[in-house]
Amino acid sequence: MKITVVGTGYVGLVAGACFAETGNDVLCVDVDAAKIEGLRQNRLPIHEPGLEPLVIRNQRDGRLEFTTDVGAAIERSDVILIAVGTPPGEDGSADLQHVLDVARSIGRHMDRPKLVVTKSTVPVGTAERVRAEICKHTKTAFHVAANPEFLKEGAAVEDFMKPDRVVIGVDSPDAAEVMGQLYAPFVRTGNPIIFMDLASAEMTKYAANAMLATRISLMNQFARLCDAVGADVTLVRRGIGSDRRIGPAFLFPGPGYGGSCFPKDVKALIHTGDTHGVSLDVLQAVEAANERQKRVLFDKLERRLGPALHGATVGVWGLAFKAETDDVRESPALVLIEQLLAARVQVRVHDPAAVASARRQLGDRVTYAKNAYDAVQGAAALAIVTEWLEYRNPDFDRMKGLMMRPLIVDARNLYDPPRMAKLGFIYESIGRPVACASS
């Protein structure tokens, strides 16, 4: 099948590489000439496990190409996936400018019947707006589909190749047949392709992300209450997660959600509700709870260090919003760092993948450590924000020797509190009793 993917961000690049991996002829398009040239040289603009080998192999074998020529790519293909960004506007609504720009280009280059698929995360009704925009520029018949992605950054390739389900909104049996053929290689183990109308498919994407964001924020609220009443959120999580109606997934407390999806999708869904006269009060509370959660680590450091925080050095492990990605969009780590800098703290940071991304926002206001241990040199405290594997079993004796004070504030609950106390640390995590070294 000849496929064009417009947009080479997380969604577009992963989709293009994975469709090429299953034998399709894929052309990925982007207006950023530097990005396209880098991709042609197998230099990826994002850090995503397993993606680079797919790009290298499928370029080598001729199934995957990159271009800036949108018109020629549209004319060459039978299926066109729109995977451009939909950043949030000031009112929280999704900005569809780039999506509709692509629709106009498709209409102008519609030389034969094609299937146009919205892959970007878009509000309900966008597929019909795309159809209307294309129709302004062509009389050629075409079909429209809505195919939202459910990829987790850090596991996007695996999620695409082995999806829990594939959701596809279609406007005709012909569109359903083409999309079914396209996704057949990915659902051979029996996970479903769920066909539905266009509006329901668009709504499903937002509803899924809003549900996950709600679970995260609710567990973070439970963790704050556990801190206040002396309960252990780890035990609470096990107790409620064993209920089959609830399940164990997404019940780990943390520093608040970030990234490119949850924050903007929650905002966009609230805006959609307001537009249609439906107040999504629960999601408004989720958003407010998440913003408060991003300030929990600073509050713990300020309470623990008091006036000594000002002028001190604090190490920060983790800059990405989650492990296995270099994405720092809406990262809780950046919120913490800005608070520390405002308190005149010297900040030393480390991250295995996200330093370059973070530097674009932080500049030279922080010290970028060569390794995790360099980040705690002379530190009055260490704050752990991202759950990278290399942080899970460090050399605690070495850390203790490097730090001015053996204080760790851990937003990911990586370590066992009694063990940390025995090792001589003051260890404060999220929703669990504080561990203090015996004198």
Structure tokens that stand for 324 in this block: 């296995």
DSSP 191: P
Of 55, 21, 30, nearest to 41 by C-alpha is 55
**Burial of residue 120, with CB atoms counted within 10 A of its CB: 0-12 exposed, 13-18 middle, 19 or more buried:** buried
- Classify strands 143-146 and 166-170 as parallel, antiparallel or unpaired: antiparallel
Residue 386 CB: number of other CB atoms within 10 A? 29
From the list 18, 28, 226, 261, the catalytic residue is 261
Counting Cα atoms < 13 Å in the Cβ hemisphere of 434 gives 16
Contacts of 354 (CB under 8 A, 6+ apart): 47, 319, 320, 325, 326, 327, 328, 331, 386
Q: Collect all residues with Cβ–Cβ distance below 8 Å to 161 and sequence separation of at least 6.
A: 18, 21, 186
Cβ-contact 188, 150 below 8 angstroms: no
Beta-carbon contacts of 154 under 8 Å, excluding residues fewer than 6 positions away, are: 48, 49, 322, 323, 324, 325
Hey, which bits of 357-416 come out as E strands?
Answer: 367-368, 381-384, 407-410
Q: Are 29 and 67 in contact (CB under 8 A)?
A: yes
Tokens of 327: 């994405």
Asked if 261 is an active-site residue, the reply is: yes
Cβ proximity of 25 and 63 under 8 Å: yes
Closest by Cα among 437, 430, 387, 433 to 407: 437
Q: Which residues 6+ apart lie within 8 Å of 295 measured at CB?
A: 335, 336, 339
Dihedral in degrees, nearest 10, Cα atoms 304, 308, 312, 317: 0
Q: Are 13 and 35 a contacting pair, CB within 8 Å? A: no
φ, ψ dihedrals at 192, nearest 5°: -85, 150
Residues marked active site are found at: 261
